[in-house]
Structure 1
Amino acid sequence: MNNNISTDLTNLKWVCKRIKVEMRNIGLNRTIRAGPIGDHDIFRWMATLIGPSNSPYSGGVFFLDIRLPANYPLEPPKINFTTKIYHPNVDRCGKIDMEPLDAFQWTPTITISELISLISLLLTTPNPDIESEPEIAHIFKTDRTRYENTAREWTTKYATKI
């Protein structure tokens, strides 16, 4: 039993060290704002994502809830939009469906800042093959103008303006 506790503490120290390195690296990045919500829980983060200028989300400020598992980075974080968004790869609860967040596609070398950059890229280039919201995906595939107009309307209505 004591051996298990020792192993758990060693793993926790390693996880905490990795998270602290990521926090420091994000602090050096001017385009990404993310970090722990409070002083006492390094496993719960919030990120701010600015809508890319070449997308219908331009001008919007979107918030992401990031939950790191206890065995991060061996397991992917859970990332959800807390800002309502009209997107074929984001469900009504804000869950983002993209391959790097899938447990089968996850690799521990991916960092939180890389994930946030990939989510930003997903706003400019939705993946029509992953349908979190089938109705939105159908509109995206068949009527791009309608999709972009609705996404702009939702950005204006729900995303905090800069």
Structure 2
Amino acid sequence: MSTRGQFNTKNPTIKRILKEASELANNPSPDYHAEPLENDLFEWHFTLRGPPAPSPYANGIYHGRIQLPAAYPLRPPAFRFLTPTGRFEVNREICLSISGHHEESWQPAWGLRTALVAIRSFMDTNASGQLGGMDSSESARKKMAADSSAWKCAGCGMTNGEIMKEREDAVRQLQDSGKLKEEEVPEELKLAYREDLQQQPAAQSSAAPQPEPTSAGTSAETPRSAPSTQETSASSSRGVTARSIPIESAPNPAQSTPVPVNTRPTLTPTRTVAPRAQPQPVQGSQTSDDWLDKAIWGVIFALVLMVVRKYL
């Protein structure tokens, strides 16, 4: 391609575009083809066959444009058909889950080859009045398909039939050498309008399987009645142990009901807390006071005796 020298080939976007162009050229398909323009790597033209019979597009060969964003492949490409199809409006960007209108559903791992395969399979769906889609009669679509082979693109300078004939010859050569590879559409790639994609989770939740009846005519939940005896026995055993706990901790076994048994243990600690531990320091203080009184009186008595002896 003459455009290679006009771009920085170290740019990740340019490298990705050149890689995809090389893969499409070296591994052609008899059903579709795409390549960038000579003067613009970000604008491609594609040609694809219609879906196989009994589709009304079975005999059609359609041409269109692909516009790649500057952030490709992080952002999805935009598609528009130039050949009348009866399914998409001419030269108007189509609103698909893989196009620029729905960037949230695009994955950078997908390429233009995968997108073309998906668009081809999407042609048989209903337009549903969405952007870029149109409704036509089956006879009108068949007539457009018959006339599409002779449609000629001014930019490419070839008719749709001539472009696909070159692809068929290239595919035939690869088949003889055993190097032809088939492209598969990943399961994660869903081609639908955004409204349809939003309705799918609701439809799946409403279609959740219900419990099926058994052969005896009862629901599948009836076997739960079997372990009910185990549950009752377990609950009864728990009740027995729960009732036995306050009886063991009761200070008065003569009580017949657990109500006073539970109240007495809370009162007994208040009686036996420490009031009786205080009399000992009180007695010691009284004896020490008595000893001091006696000592004082003894000193006074001795002084009195000394005075009496001195003057007598």
Same topology, TM > 0.5: yes
Contact 2:8 2:14 in 1 (8 A): no
Contact 2:127 2:134 in 1 (8 A): no
- Residue by residue over 1:64-120, the C-alpha shift from the partner in whole angstroms, topping out at 9 and shown as x without a partner, is 101111110111111110111211xx2354422221112221121110001110111
1:44 to 1:61, Cα distance in 2 relative to 1, 3 A:
same
Match of 1:21 in 2: 19
SS of the equivalent of 1:43 reads strand
**What is the one-letter code of the residue matched to 1:41?**
D
Match of 2:149 in 1: 160
Q: What is the alpha-carbon distance in structure 2 between the residues aligned to residue 94 and residue 134 of structure 1?
A: 9
Q: What is the alpha-carbon distance in structure 2 between the residues aligned to residue 79 and residue 14 of structure 1?
A: 22
Q: What is the alpha-carbon distance in structure 2 between the residues aligned to residue 99 and residue 69 of structure 1?
A: 16
1:56 to 1:104, Cα distance in 2 relative to 1, 3 A:
same
* TM-score w.r.t. length of structure 1: 0.74
Q: Show structure 2 runs of 5+ residues with no match.
A: 1-6, 151-160, 162-312
* TM-score w.r.t. length of structure 2: 0.40
Q: What is the alpha-carbon distance in structure 1 between the residues aligned to residue 35 and residue 82 of structure 2?
A: 15
Matched, 1:59 2:59: yes
1:134 to 1:84, Cα distance in 2 relative to 1, 3 A:
closer
Matched, 1:106 2:106: yes
SS of the equivalent of 1:98 reads coil
SS of the equivalent of 1:70 reads coil
Higher RCO, 1 or 2 (CA under 8 Å, sep at least 6)?
A: 1
Match of 2:85 in 1: 85
Percent of paired sites with the same residue = 24
1:47 to 1:93, Cα distance in 2 relative to 1, 3 A:
closer
SS of the equivalent of 1:151 reads helix
Q: What is the alpha-carbon distance in structure 2 between the residues aligned to residue 154 and residue 10 of structure 1?
A: 42
Quote how far apart the aligned CAs of 1:121 are.
0.4
Contact 1:83 1:94 in 2 (8 A): no
Quote how far apart the aligned CAs of 1:48 are.
0.8
Name the count of aligned residue pairs. 140
Quote how far apart the aligned CAs of 1:131 are.
2.8
Contact 1:51 1:57 in 2 (8 A): yes
Contact 1:97 1:130 in 2 (8 A): no
Contact 1:98 1:130 in 2 (8 A): no
Q: What is the alpha-carbon distance in structure 2 between the residues aligned to residue 134 and residue 108 of structure 1?
A: 25
Higher strand fraction (1 or 2): 1
Structure number with greater Rg is 2
SS of the equivalent of 1:99 reads coil
Contact 2:93 2:132 in 1 (8 A): no
Contact 2:80 2:90 in 1 (8 A): no
Contact 2:35 2:44 in 1 (8 A): yes
1:126 to 1:19, Cα distance in 2 relative to 1, 3 A:
same
Q: What is the alpha-carbon distance in structure 2 between the residues aligned to residue 112 and residue 133 of structure 1?
A: 19
Matched, 1:71 2:71: yes
- Residue by residue over 1:40-78, the C-alpha shift from the partner in whole angstroms, topping out at 9 and shown as x without a partner, is 321111111112222211222111101111110111111
Higher helix fraction (1 or 2): 2
Contact 2:67 2:78 in 1 (8 A): yes
- Residue by residue over 1:121-159, the C-alpha shift from the partner in whole angstroms, topping out at 9 and shown as x without a partner, is 012x314556336761xx7xxxxxxx32221122234x1
